[in-house]
Each structure stands twice: as structure tokens, then as C-alpha cells.
């Protein structure tokens, strides 16, 4: 901020000398604009912090107008420029700047306020988280009770009266089940009421004991407080040690979880390989059974072929060639039979031709008789 103020002062002095504007190159103007924007942003953050601290100290009716409100009012660009050029106004503004110690004090107070707000937010969020966890736990317990009641109703009623639905026996069982359920709920309600009363009595006793301890604690001396401080330090050391042990255990659990995930992946791959091998074994077994069946069928076919071969060999061994004259006689007989077949076939053809002629004549006679009958009838 000091560098930014020195640069702005040098810029003001350079512009005020001679009362004329100095034209700078574009690169220097861009760098100057960037420096001024950075300085303005840091000044804006400081101003907001100072305004926040000032608003906490002063009541609303005695506050001065905010710089942001003054900034929102329309001001002429030439007036701002003339103010910037006036050296006396710059020195007057410099007197209003806070010291570094004051700025550090304000920053530390703002940091403490932010930490307090963060602690409050953390406490509120933890309280809300505990409330939500309690609601979730209650919902899970209710859901478990509902599932248990559904399973009991299914086992005691639905499975027993599945074949007797609509009958009086089924209705009586359902009513008896509901009555027993209500009786058990009433008994549980009485039990919880008695437990609540006992807890209230125990709470009163504990409050009385706490009040007595507080009354006795008023008579404690500085030695007791020093002893409590020492014990508090020891407990804090124990808590730190346990936290370190907890961190070490978390690291060990993380490593164990990593190793467990590796073994899970290996187990998954091994199960996939086992399933593939089992499928391959079952496929090979099916192929083996098919080959065994084909082998048995081939053995049966081979046995049949061997029996037929033996039979044919036996016939071939006992076969006797007939005499030549017998062959000639059989040949002549065959020739005569073929000749007679041809003769009979010719006779059949002639008979069919004569049958066709007879049919034509019969049809003509039939038609003539029908004409005569129709003429007589007319």
C-alpha cells in the first residue's frame, strides 16, 4: 500500500508539473491501470473491514455515511481530476490514513470475530448433524420394527391361512393376532412409562448431586484450582497421545483397507477364472459323454457288421454253383414267360378297345331310350 501511495503521488506530481497532461505510451498506461486496479481492490477490502468494525462500535443513528454510499453519488469526472491534482488535498487525505498498528489491531479483532463466527457455525452444524443422525437412527429403528412386524405377520398369518382365505377361521386368526399385538404394545408402553419415571427420578438425583457439588465447590481454594489445572494439562496430553494413536490406527486401517481391496480384486479375478474353468470342464464333459455314446454306437454297428460278415462268409463257404443245363432250362422258361406276358398284354389292349366300343354303343342306346321316354311323356 505504501508503494501504491508513492506511485500515485508521483503520478500526481508528474501531471501537476507545468499544468499540462503528459501523454504516455499504451504499455505504460496499461501497467499503470493494472497497478491502480490492484491498489483499489486492496483499499476496498480494507475499507469494508474498517466499516464493519466501525458499525459494531457506533449505533445506527450516530453513524457517518458509508464510503460506498458516497461513492454511489454521481460526481463529475473533472472535479475528481482537479481533486487528484491538488497537492494540498492529497496531504489532507494522507492525514486521515490509519496507522499500521491500528490496522493490525483492527485486522486481529476482525480475525477473532471471524473465528468466533466459525466456531458458532461449527457448533450449530454439529448440533444439526447430531439431530439429523438421531432422526436417521430413529427412522432406521422404525423401519426395522416395521420389517419385523411384516415378517411376523407373514409367518404367523399369511403362511398359515394361505389355503383358508375368506373363511371364518382365517378372520379369527387375524383378529386374535391384532389383539395380541395391541396387548404387547400396551405392555411395552407401560414398561417404557415406568422406565421414563425412573429416569426422571435418576435425573433429579443427579441434579441434586450436581447442585451439592457446586455448593461445595464454592469453598474450594486456589490449591484445588491449581490441581485441577495440572490434571487438565495431563488429560490434554493424554488426549493428544490418544489422537496420535488414533491417527496411526487410521493409517494402519487405510493400509489394511488398501491391501484388502487388492486381495478382493485378486479374489474376483480368481472367481472369474474358476467360473470360466468350470464352464470349460462342463463343456468338455458333455463332449466326452457324446464321444462315449458315439463309441458305444460304433461298437454296436461293428458287432452287427461282424455278424453279417460271418453270415455272408458262411453262405459263401457253403455256396454251390448250379448245373449248366439247369441255367439253360431256367433261361428258356424265363423267355416263354416274357412271351406269354406280352401276349396277354396285347389281349388286354384289344379287350380295352372292344370295351370302349361297347361303352359308346351302350351310351347311345341310353340316350335313345331317354329321348323316347321324354317323347312319350310329352
Instruction: Please give the Cα distance from 262 to 62 (Å, whole number).
Output: 69
Instruction: Please give the Cα distance from 165 to 39 (Å, whole number).
Output: 86
Instruction: Give the cell for residue 293.
Output: 455314446
Is-contact 20 13, C-beta < 8 A? no
Is-contact 15 85, C-beta < 8 A? yes
Kindly list the distances between the CA atom of residue 211 and the CA atoms of 200, 207, 220, in Å, as whole numbers in the listed order.
16, 6, 15
Is-contact 67 51, C-beta < 8 A? yes
Instruction: Give the cell for residue 181.
Output: 399385538
Q: Give the torsion sign (CA, 221, 227, 228, 233).
A: positive
Count H helices and E strands in the chain, helices first.
9, 0
Q: Give the torsion sign (CA, 206, 209, 213, 215).
A: positive
Q: Please, is 4 exposed, middle or buried when counting C-beta atoms within 10 Å of its C-beta (0-12, 13-18, 19+)?
A: middle
Instruction: Please give the Cα distance from 160 to 165 (Å, whole number).
Output: 10
Instruction: Please give the Cα distance from 109 to 115 (Å, whole number).
Output: 10
Instruction: Give the cell for residue 195.
Output: 422406565
Is-contact 180 157, C-beta < 8 A? no
pTM of the full structure? 0.33
The kind and range of the H/E element at 84 are helix 77-85
Q: What is the DSSP track for 224-242? A: HHHHHHHHHHHHHHHHHHH
pLDDT in single tens digits along all 378 residues of the chain: 444 444 444 444 444 444 445 566 888 888 888 888 888 887 887 788 777 777 777 554 444 444 444 444 434 444 444 444 444 444 444 445 667 777 788 778 888 888 888 988 988 898 899 889 989 988 898 898 888 888 888 887 777 766 665 566 777 777 888 888 888 888 888 888 888 888 888 888 888 887 887 776 555 556 666 777 788 888 888 888 888 888 888 888 888 888 888 898 899 999 999 999 999 999 999 999 999 999 999 999 999 999 999 988 888 888 777 778 888 888 899 999 999 999 999 999 998 998 888 888 888 888 888 888 887 776
Q: What is the DSSP track for 237-295? A: HHHHHHHHHHHHHHHHHHHHHHHHHHHHHHHHHHHHHHHHHHHHHHHHHHHHHHHHHHH
> What are the residues whose beta carbons fall under 8 Å from the beta carbon of 270, sequence distance 6 or more?
none
Radius of gyration of the chain (CA): 60
pLDDT (0 to 100) of residue 38: 80
pLDDT (0 to 100) of residue 210: 77
pLDDT (0 to 100) of residue 13: 42
pLDDT (0 to 100) of residue 284: 92
Domain positions in the chain: 2-97, 173-216, 247-320, 325-378
Instruction: Give the cell for residue 297.
Output: 454306437
The kind and range of the H/E element at 2 are helix 2-16
Instruction: Give the cell for residue 152.
Output: 411376523
pLDDT (0 to 100) of residue 195: 86
Instruction: Please give the Cα distance from 88 to 100 (Å, whole number).
Output: 23
Nearest Cα neighbor of 12 from 98, 71, 81 is 81
Amino acid at each position: 500500500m505504501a508503494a501504491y501511495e508513492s506511485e500515485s503521488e508521483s503520478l500526481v506530481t508528474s501531471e501537476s508539473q507545468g499544468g499540462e497532461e503528459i501523454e504516455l505510451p499504451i504499455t505504460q498506461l496499461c501497467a499503470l491501470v493494472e497497478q491502480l486496479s490492484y491498489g483499489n481492490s486492496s483499499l476496498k477490502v480494507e475499507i469494508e473491514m474498517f466499516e464493519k468494525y466501525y458499525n459494531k462500535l457506533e449505533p445506527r443513528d450516530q453513524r457517518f455515511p458509508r464510503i460506498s454510499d458516497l461513492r454511489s453519488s454521481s460526481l463529475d469526472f473533472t472535479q475528481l481530476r482537479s481533486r487528484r491534482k491538488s497537492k494540498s488535498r492529497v496531504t489532507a487525505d494522507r492525514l486521515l490514513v490509519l496507522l499500521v498498528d491500528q490496522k493490525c489491531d483492527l485486522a486481529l479483532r476482525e480475525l477473532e470475530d471471524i473465528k468466533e463466527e466459525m466456531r458458532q457455525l461449527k457448533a450449530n452444524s454439529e448440533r444439526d448433524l447430531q439431530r439429523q443422525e438421531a432422526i436417521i437412527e430413529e427412522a432406521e429403528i422404525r423401519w426395522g420394527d416395521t420389517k419385523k412386524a411384516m415378517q411376523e405377520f407373514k409367518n404367523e398369518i399369511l403362511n398359515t391361512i394361505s389355503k383358508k382365505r375368506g373363511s371364518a377361521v382365517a378372520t379369527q386368526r387375524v383378529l386374535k393376532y391384532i389383539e395380541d399385538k395391541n396387548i404387547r404394545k400396551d405392555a411395552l408402553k407401560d414398561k417404557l412409562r415406568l422406565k421414563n419415571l425412573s429416569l426422571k427420578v435418576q435425573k433429579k438425583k443427579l441434579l441434586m448431586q450436581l447442585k451439592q457439588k457446586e455448593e461445595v465447590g464454592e469453598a474450594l481454594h486456589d490449591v484445588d484450582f491449581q490441581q485441577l489445572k495440572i490434571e487438565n494439562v495431563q488429560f490434554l496430553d493424554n488426549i493428544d497421545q490418544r489422537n496420535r494413536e488414533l491417527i496411526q490406527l487410521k493409517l494402519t486401517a487405510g493400509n489394511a483397507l488398501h491391501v484388502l481391496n487388492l486381495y478382493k480384486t485378486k479374489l474376483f479375478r480368481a472367481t472369474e477364472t474358476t467360473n470360466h474353468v468350470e464352464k470349460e470342464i462342463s463343456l468338455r464333459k458333455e463332449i466326452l459323454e457324446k464321444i462315449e455314446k458315439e463309441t458305444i454306437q460304433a461298437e454296436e454297428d461293428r458287432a452287427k457288421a461282424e455278424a453279417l460278415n460271418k453270415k455272408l462268409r458262411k453262405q459263401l463257404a457253403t455256396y454251390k454253383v448250379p448245373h449248366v443245363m439247369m441255367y439253360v432250362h431256367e433261361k428258356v422258361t424265363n423267355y416263354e414267360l416274357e412271351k406269354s406276358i406280352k401276349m396277354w398284354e396285347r389281349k388286354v389292349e384289344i379287350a380295352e378297345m372292344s370295351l370302349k366300343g361297347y361303352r359308346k354303343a351302350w351310351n347311345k342306346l341310353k340316350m335313345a331310350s331317354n329321348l323316347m321316354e321324354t317323347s312319350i311323356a310329352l
